[in-house]
């Protein structure tokens, strides 16, 4: 992992702007997409992870809009990025019901947030930076939501020029109320909202850390779902400690692909050829166990966040669905002397 040093060098010491050498935001350059590079028909009931790792599609209410999400190669020029996350409206909903809403988010474990000292008098301010592009200009809402204490803060940002990459830097003050739990559970949601009905827009925008009031979360948010020509892109997402602006925020901290993939695999591990088509070279075979079945053990490349859920396809014979020991997949095949398995997905998402 390359680490860029910022600050001054004197007396053989280096002053760093960053509190940690590891970016808090995982896959902020959208390089990793283990599940695939495109997902269509995302609508009511489609909440979840679909393309770029760690970036969650979350819909609320019972919307009739639909989107296609892709890992795009449309990126800001001359910044070093090669991928972005694209949302493309494919079914429009001009009039949103009160509860309808849509966001893209990244969720962070509490144990990774302790250095922010939230809930103490020394709580750290942070600044979030990202590149964004849309043909739908106007006001969008960025939000941080503390799941442990139901506290939130919202900030409006403006997309000023249609179909133009713009860099946004949003400072967020430290919150002296409500510490993050020191565990592997979901503590902080970092949210980019794309549309919302009146349930979250009818009040006054909560621009400081407060106990959450839903009506105050997204006041002023445009409706990206109101036309099938609408698109929204994001890349280069970073979070830095301190109150920063476009003039002094450090450059995006690129990670090599191997490091970024390993960090993503804590939450999602695509084994064999998941999302990449039927490649027979990736089929996995096991030794036979007596005359009743066969076994395979999958070793995860890194410790997953928690016991994962496991899905699979294309296994011959009857398949055991007992995954009580998640690192052991058990398959039975009474007809052949071998079996194959590919396209396995282990998920331990927040």
The class (CATH top level) of 9-264 is mainly beta
Give the CA distances from residue 312 to residues 54, 280, 291, 319, 330, in Å, rounded to whole numbers and listed in that order.
Answer: 20, 15, 23, 10, 12
With contact defined as beta carbons under 8 Å apart, do 130 and 167 qualify? yes
User: Alpha-carbon distance 203 to 180, whole Å?
Assistant: 27
DSSP 134-186: ESS-EEEEEEEEETTTTEEEEEEEEE-STT--EEEEEEE----S-PPPSSSSE
Ranges of each domain in the chain:
9-264, 269-347
pLDDT attached to residue 314: 55
- Which segments of the chain have a pLDDT < 70? 1-20, 272-298, 313-342
pLDDT digits (tens, 9 = 90+) for 32-58: 999 999 999 999 999 999 999 999 999
Cβ contacts of residue 131 below 8 Å, gap of 6+? 75, 76, 79, 81, 84, 165, 166, 167, 168, 234, 235, 236
pLDDT attached to residue 309: 87
pLDDT attached to residue 201: 98
What the block records as the tokens of 119 is: 């809930």
User: Alpha-carbon distance 202 to 138, whole Å?
Assistant: 18
pLDDT digits (tens, 9 = 90+) for 150-197: 999 999 999 999 999 999 999 999 999 999 999 999 999 999 999 999
Q: In what order do the strands lie in the sheet with 288-289?
A: 288-289, 293-297, 328-332, 318-319
pLDDT attached to residue 105: 98
DSSP assignment letter at 300: P
pLDDT digits (tens, 9 = 90+) for 267-282: 999 876 555 544 444 5
What the block records as the tokens of 39 is: 């997902």
pTM of the model: 0.87
pLDDT attached to residue 341: 58
pLDDT attached to residue 215: 98
Determine which helix (DSSP H) or strand (DSSP E) holds 102, and give its type and residue range: strand 101-109
Cβ contacts of residue 130 below 8 Å, gap of 6+? 28, 167, 168, 192, 234, 235, 236, 237, 238
């Amino acid at each position: 992992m390359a680490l860029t040093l910022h600050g001054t060098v004197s007396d053989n010491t280096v002053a760093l702007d960053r509190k940690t050498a590891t970016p808090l935001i995982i896959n902020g350059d959208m390089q990793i997409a283990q599940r695939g590079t495109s997902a269509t028909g995302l609508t009511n009931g489609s909440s979840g992870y679909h393309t770029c790792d760690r970036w969650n599609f979350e819909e609320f209410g019972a919307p009739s809009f639909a989107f296609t999400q892709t890992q795009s190669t449309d990126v800001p020029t001359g910044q070093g990025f090669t991928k972005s996350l694209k949302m493309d409206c494919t079914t429009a909903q001009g009039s949103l019901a009160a509860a309808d809403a849509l966001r893209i988010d990244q969720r962070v474990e509490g144990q990774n947030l302790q250095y922010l000292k939230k809930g103490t008098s020394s709580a750290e301010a942070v600044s979030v930076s990202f590149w964004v592009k849309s043909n739908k200009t106007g006001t969008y809402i960025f939000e941080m939501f503390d799941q442990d204490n139901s506290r939130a803060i919202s900030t409006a940002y403006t997309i000023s020029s249609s179909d133009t990459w713009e860099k946004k830097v949003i400072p967020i003050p430290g919150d002296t109320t409500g510490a993050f739990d020191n565990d592997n559970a979901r503590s902080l949601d970092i949210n980019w909202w794309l549309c919302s009905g009146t349930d979250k827009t009818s009040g006054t925008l909560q621009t400081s850390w407060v106990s959450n009031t839903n009506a105050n979360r997204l006041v002023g948010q445009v409706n990206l779902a109101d036309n099938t020509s609408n698109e929204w892109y994001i890349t280069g997402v970073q979070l830095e400690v301190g109150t920063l602006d476009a003039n002094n925020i450090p450059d995006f901290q690129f990670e090599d692909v191997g490091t970024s993939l390993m960090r993503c695999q804590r939450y999602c591990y695509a084994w064999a050829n998941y999302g990449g088509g039927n490649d027979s070279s990736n089929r996995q075979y096991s030794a036979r166990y007596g005359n009743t079945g066969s076994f395979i053990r999958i070793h995860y490349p890194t410790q997953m966040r928690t016991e994962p859920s496991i899905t699979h396809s294309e296994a011959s014979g009857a398949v055991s669905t007992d995954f009580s020991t998640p690192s052991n997949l058990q398959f039975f095949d009474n007809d052949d002397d071998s079996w194959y398995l590919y396209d396995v997905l282990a998920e331990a998402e927040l």
